[in-house]
Amino acid sequence: MPVVDRQQWDVVVVGAGGAGLRAAVEARERGARTAVICKSLFGKAHTVMAEGGIAAAMGNVNSGDNWQVHFRDTMRGGKFLNQWRMAELHAQEAPQRVWELETWGALFDRTEDGRISQRNFGGHEYPRLAHVGDRTGLELIRTLQQKVVSLQQEDFRETGDHESRLRVFQECTVTRVLKDGPRVSGVFGYERETGRFLVLEAPSVVIATGGIGKSFKVTSNSWEYTGDGHSLALLAGAPLLNMEFVQFHPTGMVWPPSVKGILVTESVRGDGGVLRNSDGKRFMFDYVPDVFKEKYAESEAEGDRWYDDPDHNRRPPELLPRDEVARAINAEVKEGRGSPHGGVFLDVSTRMPADVIRRRLPSMYHQFKELADVDITAEAMEVGPTCHYVMGGIAVDSDTAAARGVPGLYAAGEVAGGMHGSNRLGGNSLSDLLVFGRRAGRHAAEHAAGGASGARPRVDDAQVDAAAAEALRPFSAETQAPDEGPPENPYTLHQELQQTMNDLVGIIRREPEMKQALEKLAELRVRARRAGVEGHRQFNPGWHLALDLRNMLLVSECVARAALERTESRGGHTREDHPAMDRRWRAANLLCTLADPTGGLAATDPERGQIALERQATEPIRPDLLALFEKEELVKYLADEELSG
Ligand code: FAD
């Protein structure tokens, strides 16, 4: 068997985005020797791309804001399917996490009286997003990185070794979580540059690997988002929650083809940008659903007045939650009122002076100028929906971030499910990373310190050997299954998978198409067993793609199976054959587990697939939280039994 580098840590954090770094800082500060592993370079996680801001009810711009209002907005945005305790903790703790970032050196934009500035975003009743221009994620990661370095300097002064208590392993991909009986014992992975294997032994593992967007062809997500953490948890025995909910952001670039899907931040609409169709009509006024009618302006004049006088006017419908706006754009294009390249027009040029646009939206200005040769201070952008975020994820305990059913496993950030229900509000991810990253780090450290029996879990050599064999398989695809045909190109398989999910399980879903998707996934699963690569293990991108396939296939099947099962439309899940939201479905969560309980991958059994689905009742919402809503609103969401209870 190949050489494997082995090390012992207390807590291993997989992922160095906002959630992973916040977890690592917390675990180290609570005394745990902590290792962080990330697939890309340190500081280059997906979080860096976040633009608009961090949602936190600090009330700096409108003093009417508080955690209860934020909680209400989050529940409405998620159509009441949110794990309500997470939404409560998130709304209560987000302001503290933002102020804490500031004490660690984050430089937020300011209000005129010197407080942290907050901007409007879809679904948020008040200006709530703390921001740094449209580069907030970069500042968040920069600050957390700086905090990691300052802790390492402290450790150096005490131990003479910067990495004695907190070490980052960059450009390393984890492929398996290892277990000792039911509990976690560490992780197995490979260094991308050298191809060498490593095992980090630890009683606690925090998964913070982000999302799954690379399973769709048109996406705002970076190359890292192949659903690794979702699959690692699934393979380790933890269920995934409500994977049918995938957010299609309404505004991605649609032109030129090479940049299709790249995000156009919601700040453009938050700062006054409007959506128009090819007739020049501000069409969003035609798409305000009944549940939101009372809260949104009925006329352009009222919507425009709201920017200056939000207390006496209602917000424009361009600021509806993302799922509503994405569906509206999709409908306009389908009706033949789209822009020349298949989107609609998003215009700030007629709404703000050029210098204000360049100051408030600098990245958007450069993005369009450099990638599409469009000057957004003088002309409208063309935009359309793009796969952006997954609300579904690892089922976790709300308070501790512990993954269900696997002692020692924790999850935080986009990879964790529950917090956002069926649809996430913009800005609620960055705050989620900080709130639950911290909680995961804390509980992982406590678990590592107080292991029930006191003994560290043992790493099983047979599991390490099996993980190494699995990772090496693409190098011997030809000899592994000679009867099954020639080796397959992993690039081709990726493309076919992405096209399948985009076309058949995309923004508008239909039963026959989802069934077709499951058949295609079964075919791809069989072909993926023959995904072959040439060359050696030193920085071999084909090999990395081949290994990502297992994860992409698993999460795609979860999305397709759960989407087929949920016969209603809610948030990020829209069924053409079941177009209405059904109150009875609010009471149901869908859990995905491996179909083969021994943890095997039944790759050759297309009929059965790899995923089993289970319905589970949602936890009733605590009465004092329900009391924050008017009864007339609750009847739109809750089933009669819940209301009477
Ligand atoms: P990430 O930041 O993606 O970090 C994942 C980490 O896991 C990375 O370090 C990666 O290398 C590592 N990793 C993955 N797989 C493995 C593996 N197998 N082994 C080892 N390491 C692995 N949200 C907001 O709230 N406000 C915004 O303004 C906003 N703007 C956005 C703009 C864009 C363009 C996009 C795409 C998203 C935006 N979001 C925004 C969403 C938000 O950025 C993400 O949801 C969030 O950053 C996810 O953070 P994370 O810590 O969960 O994961």
**Catalytic residue flag (residue 249):** yes
Q: Which ligand 1 atom sits closest to the C-alpha of 131?
A: 28
Task: Give yes or no for residue 485 having a pLDDT over 80.
Answer: no
CA dist., res. 542 & res. 550, Å (int): 14
CA dist., res. 418 & res. 239, Å (int): 12
| Pick from 241, 246, 240: nearest CA to 212 | 246
CA 226 from centroid of its chain's CA atoms: 11
For 36, 222, 414, 569, the CA distances from 218, given in Å and listed in that order, are 30, 11, 19, 22
Q: Is the CB of 393 under 6 A from ligand 1?
A: no
Reported ipTM: the value is 0.99
What pLDDT is stored for residue 291 in this prediction? Answer: 85
- Neighbouring CB atoms inside 10 A of 382's CB total 22
Phi-psi region of 401 (alpha: psi -120 to 50; beta: other; left: phi over 0): left
Per-residue pLDDT of 115-171, as tens digits, reads 999 999 889 999 999 999 888 999 999 999 999 999 999 999 999 999 999 999 999
Q: Is the CB of 571 under 6 A from ligand 1?
A: no
Sequence-ordered list of residues with C-beta below 8 angstroms from that of 399, at least 6 positions apart, any chain: 85, 89, 439
Q: Is the CB of 15 under 6 A from ligand 1?
A: yes
What pLDDT is stored for residue 604 in this prediction? Answer: 46
Strand partners, 198: 5, 189
Q: Which ligand 1 atom sits closest to the C-alpha of 430?
A: 25
E strands of 510-620, at which residues? 588-594, 611-617
What pLDDT is stored for residue 323 in this prediction? Answer: 86
Residue 235, φ and ψ in degrees, nearest 5: -70, -25
Q: Mean pLDDT over residues 182-209, rounded?
A: 97
CA dist., res. 305 & res. 327, Å (int): 26
Annotated catalytic residue: which of 70, 124, 128, 269?
Answer: 269
Per-residue pLDDT of 310-350, as tens digits, reads 889 999 999 998 889 999 999 999 899 999 999 999 999 99
Q: Name the residue with the closest Cα to ligand 1, atom 38.
A: 50
What pLDDT is stored for residue 200 in this prediction? Answer: 98
Residue 302, φ and ψ in degrees, nearest 5: -65, -45
Q: Which helix (DSSP H) or strand (DSSP E) does residue 168 occupy?
A: strand 166-169
Total-model pTM? 0.94
The three-class DSSP label of residue 273 is coil
Which residue among 46, 97, 364, 436 is best mutated to probe the pocket of ligand 1, counting the most ligand atoms within 8 A of its Cβ? 46
Q: Name the residue with the closest Cα to ligand 1, atom 23.
A: 429
CA dist., res. 122 & res. 534, Å (int): 48
- Neighbouring CB atoms inside 10 A of 578's CB total 18
Percentage of residues of the chain with pLDDT beyond 70? 96
Q: Which ligand 1 atom sits closest to the C-alpha of 38?
A: 21
What pLDDT is stored for residue 601 in this prediction? Answer: 59
Sequence-ordered list of residues with C-beta below 8 angstroms from that of 197, at least 6 positions apart, any chain: 2, 3, 4, 5, 188, 189, 190, 468, 471
Percentage of residues of the chain with pLDDT beyond 90? 87
To the nearest whole number, what is the mean pLDDT of the chain?
94
For 192, 220, 349, the CA distances from 214, given in Å and listed in that order, are 19, 9, 32
Q: Mean pLDDT over residues 161-186, rounded?
A: 97
Q: Is the CB of 134 under 6 A from ligand 1?
A: no
Annotated catalytic residue: which of 46, 165, 167, 249?
Answer: 249
Which residue among 142, 429, 547 is best mutated to probe the pocket of ligand 1, counting the most ligand atoms within 8 A of its Cβ? 429
Selected residue with higher pLDDT from 267 and 498: 498
Q: Which helix (DSSP H) or strand (DSSP E) does residue 166 occupy?
A: strand 166-169
Residue 254, φ and ψ in degrees, nearest 5: -110, -10
Which residue among 170, 221, 224 is best mutated to probe the pocket of ligand 1, counting the most ligand atoms within 8 A of its Cβ? 224
The three-class DSSP label of residue 48 is helix
CA 44 from centroid of its chain's CA atoms: 16
Task: Give yes or no for residue 389 having a pLDDT over 80.
Answer: yes
Q: Are 227 and 211 in contact (CB under 8 A)?
A: yes
Residue at token pair 């062809």: 217
Burial of 415 (0-12, 13-18, 19+ CB in 10 A): buried
What pLDDT is stored for residue 261 in this prediction? Answer: 95
What pLDDT is stored for residue 603 in this prediction? Answer: 47
- Neighbouring CB atoms inside 10 A of 495's CB total 12
Per-residue pLDDT of 40-95, as tens digits, reads 999 889 999 998 899 999 999 999 999 999 999 999 999 999 999 999 999 999 99
What pLDDT is stored for residue 600 in this prediction? Answer: 61
Q: Name the residue with the closest Cα to ligand 1, atom 4.
A: 17
Per-residue pLDDT of 568-618, as tens digits, reads 999 999 999 999 999 999 999 999 999 986 656 554 455 578 999 999 999
Cα 429 to averaged position of ligand 1 atoms, centre (Å): 9
Per-residue pLDDT of 220-233, as tens digits, reads 998 889 999 999 99
Q: Which ligand 1 atom sits closest to the C-alpha of 39?
A: 11
